Amino acid sequence: ATQPYDSGNIFAKILRGEIPSNKVYEDDFALAFHDIAPQAPVHILVIPKGAYVAWDDFSARAPAEEIAGFVRAVGHVAREHGLVEPGYRLLANLGGDGGQEVPHLHVHLFAGRPLGRMIG
């Protein structure tokens, strides 16, 4: 099972407006903002607004409209940044072996250069 949600995590603080972020998109279900330490010319984080640690609790507990909203937000950001044609990469680090550092579900969107082949 997923660990309990820690409402003190950094992305929860960003969602509450307690710390600033460089926002690129927001709707009822999701927030997207630039990563503070970009690993590519475009490095955006997309997070659901609900309190979910990782894929496990999100997929099992989130209402379908929140799941759909999150998925659509990722697609919207990619489209609005003109990334559909050149292409981009989505990545989710999940749990300890996944290297997840912030315990609020997030998807990394990388783009802006050829990203190379990366599996595992």
Nearest of 79, 84, 71 to residue 30 by alpha carbon = 71
Q: Of 27-35, 46-54, 74-82, 109-117, which part binds ligand 5GP (CB under 6 A)? A: 27-35
Distance CA 45, CA 24 (A): 9
Which two tokens mark 81?
């940044």
Question: Given 76, 81, 106, 108, which residue is catalytic?
Answer: 106
Terminal C-alpha separation, the chain: 23
Neighbours of 85 (CB within 10 A): 5
Q: Which is nearer to ligand 5GP, 35 or 67 (by Cβ)?
A: 35
Is 76 assigned a catalytic role?
Answer: no
Q: Let me know: does 72 contact 64? Beta carbons within 8 Å.
A: no
State the binding string over 31-60 for ligand 5GP (x if CB under 6 A, else -).
--xxxxx-------x---------------
CB of 85 to ligand 5GP, least distance (A): 25
Q: Is 118 in the site for ligand 5GP (CB under 6 A)?
A: no
Tell me which residues are annotated as active site. Answer: 106
Site of interaction with ligand 5GP (CB under 6 A): 10, 21, 33-37, 45, 93, 99-102
